[in-house]
Amino acid sequence: MHAVIRTARDGLLSLLYPADCRVCGANVDSWDDGVACARCWERSEWPRGAQFCEKCGLPMTRAAGRCGDCDDAAFERARACGAYRGAWRESVLFLKSHPFAAPRIGRSLRDAVAEMERDRGRFDSIVPAPLHPEREAERGFNQAEAPARALAQLSGRRLDLLSLQRVRATTPHRAGMDARQRERSLRGAFIVRAPRLVAGRRILLVDDVMTTSATAHAAALALREAGAERVDVVTLARVVFAR
């Protein structure tokens, strides 16, 4: 019976997703894989033995430790499912116009969070990084909400869509802006409207992609100032800068 259901489900794949892999052009055979084929997903996995910054999750070429750029970040720890290239890049771009997270994405987030929780304990609630209301109205949805909702359903964690709000619109970050410039552009961009849902809780912030961690820092800072015990971050993808 399950095989029949999977076959019927995969036959409806083209209703939500393109029939061809957005990375290599091959057929996408499974609903689970979303916009990329299974082979491209395999190629998009973190390399075996990859080293990451212990705090912000930035891939590094040297031995594990701190990258040195995230010491003052308000979040405790950040991790990404994969690098912003290949299947992960195409999935993030597709998510910006289609508010649905493929099952593979939800499972990857769940696995990343399970690893984080083994070291740091269970999260109390999941908070998607919000868009400014004008930007969300223009797009029609918040692209961080779909993966956050999928993660909440798979992990059994509480989904909090009310507490964190973005109250200041910022212009898109320009190429060449460093982390400090990005951080300045985001100061005061987030507030917490429901502190009682945050105070004393261990919060997991979910976003689609991390570049310099400026957005994650600004959102985590607002949550910490509202009384959150801890804020960690998980994203679908991470822009890679070799270290």
Whole-angstrom Cα distance, residue 154 to residue 157? 8
Domain spans of the chain?
1-43, 46-238
pLDDT tens by residue, 54-83: 999 998 876 668 888 899 999 999 999 999
Q: Number of H helices and number of E strands within the chain?
A: 9, 9
pTM as predicted: 0.87
What is the CATH T-level fold of the domain 46-238, as seen in this structure?
Answer: Rossmann fold (3.40.50)
Per residue in 128-161, pLDDT tens?
999 999 999 999 999 999 999 999 999 999 999 9
Distance CA 114, CA 119 (A): 9
Calpha distance 210→230 (Å, rounded): 19
Q: Are the C-beta atoms of 123 and 113 separated by less than 8 Å?
A: yes
For residue 12, report the phi and psi dihedrals to the nearest 5 degrees: -95, 10
